[in-house]
Copies of this chain bind each other. A is one copy, B any other.
Amino acid sequence: MLRSSRYIVALMVVAIVAAVAPIGSSDASAGIASLYRTGDWRSEKHVPVIDCPVEFKAGEPTTVTVTIGKETEHPNTAAHHIRWIRLYFIPADSTLPYEVASFEFSAHGESVLGTDTSTLYTDPKVSIDVRTGVPGVFYAAAYCNIHGLWESAKAITIAE
């Protein structure tokens, strides 16, 4: 009940913010919060998609995959590419987030012959094994070298 009303107020706040301030504005007062953007990954190719079971078995390695451009491929050139994906986890009822992993995608086709000549590319997709004994929310962050910071979230539970 309290939780639902918190959601409703949060949605109202988001609506007010959206109406008043352009997301990503450079007001120092707004904080890093204002730098992250999100959206529907089906139509916005920068939004990270977190694929994993919604239910983890406590303490068992569980594969988490994060993909950029799952529906529409993102460019991968020296001029325009996904530089990194980072994964965070915040336990339910906690206020302290953990970094789970940080992934740099380093090869974008450049060589001594010029941009897009090496044939070597690292795609912006990564899978790792994570163990947790508590429920919570995974947050994926991603950075496009020219379109900035993007995020998404996925809540998971622990099997009884």
The chain A residues found within 8 Å of chain B, CB to CB, are: 6-7, 9-13, 16-17, 20-36, 38, 58-59, 61, 78-80, 83, 88-107, 110-112, 114-115, 118-123, 125-134, 136-137, 139, 141, 143, 145-149, 151, 153-155
Q: Binding site of A, secondary structure by majority: helix, strand, loop or mixed?
A: mixed
Asked whether B96 lies within 8 Å of A106 as measured between CB atoms, the reply is no
Candidates B16, B26, B79, B93; contact of A91 at CB < 8 Å: B26
Pick the 3 closest A-B CB pairs, nearest first.
A33-B33, A24-B95, A119-B133
Chain B residues positioned under 8 Å from A23 (CB to CB)? 95
CB distance from A68 to the nearest CB of B (A): 11
Known A125-B128, A132-B120; judge A112-B146 contact (CB<8 A): yes
Contact call A36/B35, Cβ cutoff below 8 A: no
Cβ-neighbour of A119 out of B35, B58, B115 (below 8 A):
B58
